[in-house]
Amino acid sequence: MTTPLNGLKVLDFSTLLPGPFASLYLADLGAEVIHVESATRPDLIRLLPPYANGQATAHSYLNRNKQSVTLDLKDKTSIELIRQKISEFDIVVEQFRPGVMKRLGLDYAVLAELNPRLIYCSITGYGQDGPYRDRAGHDINYLAVAGIAGHSGREKDGPPPLGIQVADIAGGSLHAVIGILTAVIERQQSGLGQYIDISMTDCVATLNSMAASAALAGQTPQMPEQEHLNGGTYYDYYQTKDGRYLSVGSLEPQFMQGLAQVLDLPVLLEKGASFDSDDRKQVKQAIQAKILRRTWAEWSNTFAALDICVEPVLRLDEALNSPLAQARKWIVQVPVAADLKKTEPQLACPIKFSRSQARYTFSGQSLGEGNWPESSQ
């Protein structure tokens, strides 16, 4: 089997999470990624604990399969080197604030003159124009500005601090990959590359999807614990006797009936589909009272044999070692270095092809350990 993106060459100037996660997918799927880093100002992801095999685990994962080269982008010699080599690359990924690459002389206009087939993707918090263009931000800020935090969480407790970076990854990284590969396909027809402006806030705002449709066309304000899927109905999490939680998503009639039978709750069938807020509260309180009678393990065993959209809330370590994770091969052993037998467990690329496959050649390299493509030497 072959990697599906074999032959694509990517020059990656990004740091931290959004850009590196995007180029990780490209690298895993076969693209040759050259990761340009500063020798004096290392990517903070290299310093973030915990550590394993002598370096940060986040770096080892996010920058696997990539060649790490160091350049001083304030040095004219480095800029000239990039300009000389740019004709060999298909894609540039960068994550600086708007205007930085132009000041360096490495913006799309300059590089496209040297390589008209170049696809150039800029990932920023708020986009290349608009009132927030020059504003700093992080994932939590993008979720706030995009309106997602405003209709998430509990009415009394406010927005929840999430365990993952939704705006960085689902907003920035994945939309960048979609945009880049779309441009690659378009280039097959036009013969030309193009510029891609990825705003993490723009992109994550589209994940409001159904809620935004209700707010826009339906003129229905979206508030925490008021709608079908944000805690307004019995579609929610419920605490067990020992302080853990179950997820209940039994919305469809057949699943609702199954849940009502297991819990012996006729009120669920009577009022589970009601739009009345008092009815909804009554149903949720009844379910919670039942769930509190037994432990997480007891409920897990009960619902494991039933197909009614109820699952235990797993801790991350439990999820990573679950039968599902093992069966679907969530985890792969990645060589610490290309020439070493020692490996490190990491999340695998989740995309499964019938003919192609991902690759796991080596973990993130030491700073400056990598090489430019052979053809450029």
Active site (catalytic) residues: 138, 168
Per DSSP bridges, beta strands 195-199 and 119-124 are parallel
- Both tokens of residue 215? 């707010």
Rounded to 5 degrees, what angle do the CA atoms 116, 118, 121 make? 135
Nearest residue to 151 via CA among 235, 225, 214, 228: 225
Give the length of the chain.
377
